[in-house]
Amino acid sequence: MGQYFGTDGIRGRVGDEPITAEFMLRLGRAAGQVLAANDKRPVVIGKDTRISGYMFESALEAGLASAGANVALLGPMPTPAIAYLTRTLYACAGIVISASHNPYYDNGIKFFSADGEKLPDVIQDEIEAAIDAPFTTVESANMGKAWRIDDAAGRYIEFCKGTLPFGTDLNKLRIVMDCANGSNYKVGPAVLRELGAKVIPIANKPNGLNINADCGSTHMQNLSQRVLEEKADLGIAFDGDGDRMLMVDHRGDLVDGDQLLYIMATARHAAGTLGGVVIGTVMSNLGLEQSLRQQGIGFERTPVGDRYVHQRLVAEGLTLGGESSGHILSLDRTSTGDGIISALQVLEIIANSGKSLRELAAGMQRYPHIMLNVPVTGDAKLRLAENKTIEVEAKRVESELGDSGRLILRASGTEPLVRVTVEGQDGQQVERLAEELAETVRSELA
């Protein structure tokens, strides 16, 4: 990580450095100098539905124009749509204004390359180096221009539909869709309806302040209840920027990212289209790894973060990987994590197999797993690494778990939290050990 860029771009609370209009102006100018030097292809800008997006969109546009970069504005669109449109509009780069699953009072920025993929670290470093340089403006004749892409949503909807084999029948499916009051509030229901499914959307009326508020993939209770009320076949939940997706089955039970990855991997393996091992992270449930291996499917782990999953997939020429949170990468379908396209793959398997989501998910034996988020002050990563009391307690927990479980103790890369994750065969033991270690972290770092 650099001075500004974290594991998933630049993120923080609106009004606090660096999430200010003044910083975004400088960031836009720096990005324009690095990404669009002597290149009149536009930089694409899209955003989610938070109220601060208007301010940051304008600031980035001004900064880019001052560096001579042209700008194509998409308005509220899912992050994966911005990646896709960056490619198809032949832009030189894409910018997403979003804080993903965070509350409305946070916001952030992340970049895509011209290929619709995360920017290489070396390019991010160049942008960082230019941010704090004296602000300059090109001659008026060389300033950039800006325009809006009016048919952005339609372009993306057609792309999503095109990832399903022609003739896939979704007409029998009744689906509740939680749009998180975020950037999928229009395109999510539209895609499934045009493919024939009966869609009941909820949390699809964003007002700038209600994104992720008791809804979406971080708050699944309302979706579960609505699926039962509607007697739906399943429910789909996105996060605020639309790159993650979780489901609930017809009984309202959660089907998480590990289970969804299992369903996709085993279906591809049976069809002979998997093309190698599956990539997860250190947070992926131990049951996923063991269930895949029982099917003859290899599994490898990366550090937490979809960028690391993506890097491993590209480096090894693989196509399928993901995280427990529902951030799933299918590089044979699109270049980045995409909630809608991930959902469509699962719906395709349901339609072709004749099995319910619950039946498909039952093939994975999930280990009891608990993750506790402990709010901390100061530099969470540094303080965690230096604290000997926590280190001793963590070793005690690992010793008690033995070979039948795992402990993952890490500082969040996007929030002031330490995440305590414990999994094992004994659910009561898992819960007790997680609570004991979390209390130690709380007393030492809060």
- Which residues have C-beta within 8 Å of that of residue 286, sequence separation ≥ 6? 367, 405, 406, 423
User: How many whole angstroms separate alpha carbon 244 and alpha carbon 265?
Assistant: 17
User: How many whole angstroms separate alpha carbon 276 and alpha carbon 269?
Assistant: 9
The neighbour count for residue 358, using CB atoms within 10 Å, is 15
The sheet that has 10-13: what strands, in order across it?
Answer: 10-13, 106-112, 93-97, 43-47, 71-76, 146-148
- Does the CA dihedral 222-240-285-1 come out positive or negative? negative
> Quick one: which of 177, 193, 215 has its CA closest to 49?
215
> Quick one: which of 220, 224, 218, 219 has its CA closest to 249?
224
What residues are labeled active site? 100
- Which residues have C-beta within 8 Å of that of residue 6, sequence separation ≥ 6? 413, 414
CB 48 within 8 A of CB 97: yes
> Quick one: which of 434, 429, 270, 245 has its CA closest to 342?
245
DSSP sequence for 56-82 = HHHHHHHHHHHTT--EEEEEE--HHHH
Q: Can you tell me which residue has the tokens 């290149």?
A: 39
E strands, 306-445, are 320-322, 328-330, 369-375, 405-411, 417-424
First CA to last CA distance, the chain = 23
User: How many whole angstroms separate alpha carbon 1 and alpha carbon 421?
Assistant: 23
User: How many whole angstroms separate alpha carbon 14 and alpha carbon 249?
Assistant: 36
Any idea what DSSP says for residue 9?
B
- Which residues have C-beta within 8 Å of that of residue 3, sequence separation ≥ 6? 128
Q: Which helix (H) or strand (E) holds 261?
A: helix 257-271
